[in-house]
Structure 1
Amino acid sequence: MKLRTALVASLLLLTSLPGLAKLPEQEDIVSIMQQVADWQIAHFHDDMERENEWENRFNAWTYGALYIGMEKWAQMAPSDKYYQFLLEAAANNKWDLGPGKYHADDQTVGQLYLELYRKFQQPHMLAKVLERTEWIMNNPSQQPMRLNHYQYTERWTWCDALFMAPPVWAKLASITGNDRFRNEMFAEYVATVNHLYDKEEKLFYRDEHFIDKRDKGHKIFWARGNGWVFGGLTLILQELPEGPQKAYFSKLYRDMAANLITLQTEKGHWAMSLKAAELYPTPETSGTAFFTYGLAWGINNGYLDKATYLPAIERGWQSLTSHVTDEGLLGYVQPVGAGPGEAWPDKTEVYGVGAFLAAGSEVYKLAAN
């Protein structure tokens, strides 16, 4: 697969010089988003070759993350074919969540169903998400707040879970008017923060097994894991009324944002291990996309100062688009994992595309100004 050689060379030069990267015109943002979205739809079944059966579903978390970004693209796309794609995907899933009753990953796809319900107002789009979430609320898990080598996964014992499930609960509170969804979510979210958040570093450990672990002396803060949290915060915040809960999430969001811009590499991406960029020099696009999305959302919604945060967004977007091939494949997406690892220019994943489209949707709004 060919990369846009001349363009990439120019972009890499720009992203290596702080202050020189600039957002492209809106039509250019739309063009590359459409290219990536179309490539992914054409290759929609490619990820179904996974060995793990629990990942080999179109309502798994991997696809759920894709749908979240694809729905944001559908809102701005020049054609309604993307909503048709999402409606067909949801119908093929029978509007159902994954099989794990409590598992956060198996709730992720509910975010798509709820957004489609908001747009089309069809009761069947809401029914199964509501049924599952009410069941969990009325039958709270008795497991401890620890992962223990995946022995306990009914509660949000790994940081990725904070993207997967809490936005479903926040959206349901907004849609139904039942504050109990929001209150239950808040209590469980705070429990996870108390378990995994490093108050000094303003970052999340992926799970308990990383808290005391070091990589050549460095604390291990996985980029995509923190990207899950940071992106998830935006999905929650937009659902909250003013009050103590919103103040709590706002502070967490702003604290993470202020630290994240200090960790961006000179080339514009965020390293797979946020505090150990020298150990992981390979670009990685899924974490970078979530951070770019979250920062751009913050400016667009009045949470972040434009003068402070726009340069990081510009460099992040330039880095991301430099890893899109001529065919529309978003490269350098780290495969499914639970910590820093490897990525390759010709390898992608559906959740990385979802993060890229989410980032583009907010960068597009910024470019208007």
Structure 2
Amino acid sequence: MKTIHLLFISVLSIHLSYTQDIKPNEVKNIMKKVADWQIMHINDAYSNDKPHHALHWTNAALYVGMAKWAEMADNDTYYNWLKGIGDQNNWQLHERKYHADDHAVGRMYAALYGKYNQKEMLEPTIEQFNYILHHPANTKLNWATPYHQDRWNWCDALFMSPPVWADLYSITGEQKYLDFMLDEYKATTEFLFDTEEHLYYRDERFKGKLDKGTKIFWGRGNGWVFAGLADILSNLKPETSEYSYFLDIYKKMADRLIELQTPEGHWAMSLLGKEFYPTPETSGSSFFIYGLAWGINRGILNGPKFKKAVQSGWKAMTGYVNEDGMLGYVQPIGAAPGNASANKTEVYGTGAFLSAGSEIYKMVGAN
């Protein structure tokens, strides 16, 4: 009995250390620092030689995290910044009607609708998605087929578009949005999900390929998926079959991800090849931290192994923020494992970091 008691005390002390080492005010301070730096540098060029369009998917991923930070901030400065972007662009989605990347900004519109309840914020998105419902793309998911990206045939797409459909379902209560999203999500998962590794191939071109003897599962690509799953689940009722479907994928990925985390706290750009890709990559890693912390905060992921993974990951991410507030080691735009460095950043990396911080802040006991 004494041994059991001592073991309980030991486990409890480990559990507490995972959260007490991170202070809520420190989380909030570094989130503000990173958010402020990014807003000051929003018109910089990053992966390319010119700034991204305000509605481009890169910025849309930033806005997702910035909206989460805006909810935490002490004033409406960040909400006003986001609202200004919506106003300047008449609350439109980006250029391509079917392409998931160009739907992603709708996530920011839904978040702002949740605060302001102004119907003009969502009307263009609803109109476009209703068109898609009545004129669905019938293209194949194979990469070389015509108009293949009119459907979600690459794993990044599962972050860009499905959560917007889930948002519309949650806001309007109309089942049609959820039904369409679920059918398309299932098609993508059947096409790209590896049932042995519980990870997603980036797209068809990587299925069956090896990199130094390992299957190629892109870190950020799976980060897109995992963060998107958390956001989809947030819009669904736990007692529904749809929730069970997404929860099953989420749990399988969560279990695999903590097995693949590096001793330094980040995840490799090629998830199964960390010895070949030792350089940190903060955008994918931040998305994993966000998704894991989200599950901890909702009682879905239990046990010290998850808290340890999240705390280790968050400490690693904050260590890659420079004194000015720039998050380094963000892999530039790509579709496969590549390169990152301390002086490389991107707006979606900031968005992922802010998303992670929003859940870390809750996890460490902030009110």
TM-score scaled by structure 1?
Answer: 0.92
Structure 1 partner of 2:322: 325
Inter-partner Cα distance in structure 2 for 1:49 and 1:343? 11
Inter-partner Cα distance in structure 1 for 2:129 and 2:289? 30
Structure 2 partner of 1:279: 276
Are the aligned partners of 2:46 and 2:332 in contact in 1 as well (CA < 8 Å)? no
Which of 345, 358, 362 aligns to 1:348? It is 345
CA pair 281-112 structure 1, distance change in 2 beyond 3 A: same
Structure 1 partner of 2:305: 308
Give 1:92 shift.
Answer: 1.7
Deviations 1:45-101 (A, max 9, x none): 11378358xx83110110000000000000001121011111111112221101111
3-state SS of paired residue (1:357): helix
Are the aligned partners of 2:61 and 2:352 in contact in 1 as well (CA < 8 Å)? yes
For structure 1, which segment, 237-246 or 248-257, has the greater mean C-alpha deviation from structure 2 after superposition? 237-246
Task: Work out the percentage of aligned pairs sharing the same amino acid.
Answer: 50
Structure 1 partner of 2:11: none
More contact order relative to length (CA 8 Å, sep ≥ 6): 1
3-state SS of paired residue (2:235): coil
1:115 counterpart = 2:133: no
3-state SS of paired residue (1:294): helix
Structure 2 partner of 1:298: 295
Look up the equivalent residue of 1:30 and give its one-letter code: K
Inter-partner Cα distance in structure 2 for 1:25 and 1:262? 26
Inter-partner Cα distance in structure 1 for 2:84 and 2:136? 33
Look up the equivalent residue of 1:340 and give its one-letter code: P
Inter-partner Cα distance in structure 2 for 1:35 and 1:357? 10
Look up the equivalent residue of 2:94 and give its one-letter code: G
Inter-partner Cα distance in structure 2 for 1:164 and 1:240? 18
Give 1:306 shift.
Answer: 4.0
3-state SS of paired residue (2:122): helix
1:30 counterpart = 2:33: no
Q: Which runs of 5+ in 2 are unaligned?
A: 1-15
Inter-partner Cα distance in structure 2 for 1:110 and 1:336? 21
How do 1:232-271 residues align onto structure 2 when only pairs under 5 Å count? Answer: 232-241=228-237, 242-271=239-268
1:84 counterpart = 2:80: yes
How do 1:98-137 residues align onto structure 2 when only pairs under 5 Å count? Answer: 98-137=94-133
Are the aligned partners of 1:21 and 1:318 in contact in 2 as well (CA < 8 Å)? no
1:40 counterpart = 2:28: no
CA pair 60-239 structure 1, distance change in 2 beyond 3 A: same
Give 1:277 shift.
Answer: 0.4
3-state SS of paired residue (2:256): helix
Are the aligned partners of 1:331 and 1:346 in contact in 2 as well (CA < 8 Å)? yes
Are the aligned partners of 1:48 and 1:57 in contact in 2 as well (CA < 8 Å)? no
Give 1:147 shift.
Answer: 2.3
Structure 1 partner of 2:3: none
1:359 counterpart = 2:361: no
For structure 1, which segment, 199-208 or 90-99, has the greater mean C-alpha deviation from structure 2 after superposition? 90-99
Deviations 1:24-63 (A, max 9, x none): 21001010000000000000111378358xx831101100
TM-score scaled by structure 2?
Answer: 0.92
Are the aligned partners of 1:271 and 1:282 in contact in 2 as well (CA < 8 Å)? yes
Inter-partner Cα distance in structure 1 for 2:84 and 2:38? 15
* Root mean square deviation of aligned Cα: 1.6
Inter-partner Cα distance in structure 2 for 1:48 and 1:310? 33
Are the aligned partners of 1:47 and 1:350 in contact in 2 as well (CA < 8 Å)? no
- Equivalent pairs counted in the alignment come to 349
CA pair 210-107 structure 1, distance change in 2 beyond 3 A: same
Inter-partner Cα distance in structure 1 for 2:49 and 2:310? 36
Look up the equivalent residue of 1:274 and give its one-letter code: L
How do 1:159-178 residues align onto structure 2 when only pairs under 5 Å count? Answer: 159-178=155-174
Are the aligned partners of 2:47 and 2:332 in contact in 1 as well (CA < 8 Å)? no
3-state SS of paired residue (1:35): helix
1:339 counterpart = 2:336: yes
Structure 2 partner of 1:57: 53
Inter-partner Cα distance in structure 2 for 1:344 and 1:330? 10
